[in-house]
Amino acid sequence: MARVPYLEQGDLAPEDQDLLKRPIWLTKALVNSPKGARAFHTVGNYIRFGSKLDQRLRELAILQVGWLARSPYEWSHHVKLGLGFGVSEADIHALIDDTDGKPTSLDALTKLVLKAAREMTTDGAMSDATFAALQKQLGNELVVDLTLTIAFYNGVVRVLGTLGIDVEPEYQPYMDKFPFPA
């Protein structure tokens, strides 16, 4: 259960009502601090709409963070979003297997992106070897964008957990289809 109220447009000053044009529960909680919500969305919007990073790789990195953090909200939302950005159901199963150290048919770059997300999530930073391998394949701009993506979503899962953001009913089927281990 959320620790702050989910606000509606009518609860906000007219100049802040645009913040709820996508009225998901995370945003409805964040708008308790309209300026904070606006700043939060600036980074999120760059990651989704401004970065040149491959959309499938981006979503898999985010999913890896959500899986490791056992964040139902993040996981369910990005399973849905990922499926729209080129992530397949087989990719999701492979991400789970790769996390468990099982063999997968994922390509080398995808495995490297998942490894980077795991390292940043569990160790706080990518290893030198992982960073160098990604830098060689992606170049400086995209390796920075990948780093920002992973770091931002590590922050997002902490915001979600701390504020107690619930999974909306329309996202629950994604949790049911790809549940966390018991």
List the domain boundaries for the chain.
Answer: 23-177
Residues 23-177: name the CATH superfamily. AhpD-like (1.20.1290.10)
Q: Give the pLDDT confidence of 22-81 residue by residue, as tens digits.
A: 999 999 999 999 999 999 999 999 999 999 999 999 999 999 999 999 999 999 999 999
Task: Tell me, rounded to whole angstroms, the distance of Cα 144 from its chain centroid.
Answer: 16
**Residues whose CB is less than 8 angstroms from the CB of residue 163 and which lie 6 or more positions away in sequence, other chains included:** 2, 3, 4, 29
Q: Helix 89-99 to helix 72-84 angle, to the nearest 10 degrees?
A: 140
Predicted TM-score (pTM) of the model is 0.97
Q: Give the pLDDT confidence of 99-137 residue by residue, as tens digits.
A: 999 999 999 999 999 999 999 999 999 999 999 999 999
Q: What is the mean pLDDT of residues 149-159?
A: 98
The answer to whether the beta carbons of residues 144 and 131 sit under 8 Å apart is no
Beta strands in the chain (DSSP E): none
- Taking CA atoms, 155 is separated from 71, 152, 158, 166, in Å, by 12, 5, 5, 17
